[in-house]
Structure 1
Amino acid sequence: MDLDGRKVLIVEGRTDKEAIKKVINEPLDILCTYGTLGVEKLDAMIEEHELDNREVYVLVDADDAGEKLRKQLRIELPHAKHLYVDRVYREVATTPADYLASLMAQANITVKFT
């Protein structure tokens, strides 16, 4: 797999991925977990996408399911950088685009200027 130094962002679902794609302006691999992952599925994702050797970011919902996933990813990917949506918005998908863009910019991910 030719990764070209692309960063990876791990999100929970397709709507989260679509929200992020609207604000970024650089090649970024966005992986969806679709909720919590079993150990085998997580290990397969890490191996398939070579996550141990890449710059990885985690952005999940500010709810119990998101926190459970975040804890799991902290153990399996200790080098990953964690980004947080404000609890006011709760979900990545419903977070305003300008707020998401600000989060991405803080992580040194190039964003579109709207």
Structure 2
Amino acid sequence: MNEWNTEKILIVEGKSDKRKVQSIIKEPVEIICTNGTIGITRLDELIDYLTGKEVYVLVDADDSGEKLRRQFLRELPEAEHIYIDKMYREVATAPEHHLATVLLGANIDVHTEFLDR
């Protein structure tokens, strides 16, 4: 699972979210896709893997994203939650400068060119 060999992990919903965020992040962060909803078995495996790591949750500002966020709040309360503005609704369609700003606010290093837009 760990492609970067890092302790920092970002959880997103889909592959388009992952691609968008990967282009913005400057430091080594493992990005895990839940592919929308997540089953109990998969969640349990994920929790075991994530324990002791620096975990961030970045999901869409819609009903399915909020449901997923509530699951992680309950099962992994130490995770830090990153929120996009509700007006953008989806991580994949949010402007890069907005994502760069919220990621930087969570102490995730981003490419500075995304902050200048």
* TM-score between both structures, scaled by the size of structure 2: 0.90
Report deviation, 1:112.
0.3
* Counterpart secondary structure, 1:22: helix
Q: In structure 1, what is the Cα distance between the partners aligned to 2:52 and 2:96?
A: 29
Q: Which aligned segments of 4 or more residues in structure 1 are displaced greater than 2 angstroms?
A: 1-6
* Counterpart secondary structure, 1:104: helix
Q: In structure 1, what is the Cα distance between the partners aligned to 2:5 and 2:65?
A: 29
Deviation per CA, 1:54-85: give whole Å up to 9, x if none. Answer: 01000000000000000011111110011111
* Counterpart secondary structure, 2:20: helix
Q: In structure 2, what is the Cα distance between the partners aligned to 1:106 and 1:61?
A: 17
Q: In structure 1, what is the Cα distance between the partners aligned to 2:5 and 2:33?
A: 20
Alignment of 1:1-114 (within 5 A): 5-47=6-48, 50-114=49-113
Q: What is the aligned residue count? A: 112
Aligned identity (percent) is 52
Q: In structure 2, what is the Cα distance between the partners aligned to 1:75 and 1:12?
A: 17
Deviation per CA, 1:30-53: give whole Å up to 9, x if none. Answer: 000011111111111222xx2110
5+ residue gaps, structure 2:
none
Residue type of the partner of 1:44? E
Report deviation, 1:4.
5.0
RMSD: 1.6
Report deviation, 1:108.
0.7
Q: In structure 2, what is the Cα distance between the partners aligned to 1:66 and 1:4?
A: 27
Q: Which stretch of structure 1 is more off in the superposition, 54-63 or 2-11?
A: 2-11
Residue type of the partner of 2:46? M
Q: In structure 2, what is the Cα distance between the partners aligned to 1:108 and 1:87?
A: 21
Q: In structure 2, what is the Cα distance between the partners aligned to 1:81 and 1:110?
A: 15
Using CA pairs under 8 Å that are at least 6 residues apart, name the structure with larger relative contact order, 1 or 2.
1
* Counterpart secondary structure, 1:99: helix
Structure 1 residues 5 and 21: alpha-carbon distance in aligned structure 2, compared to 1, 3 A threshold:
closer
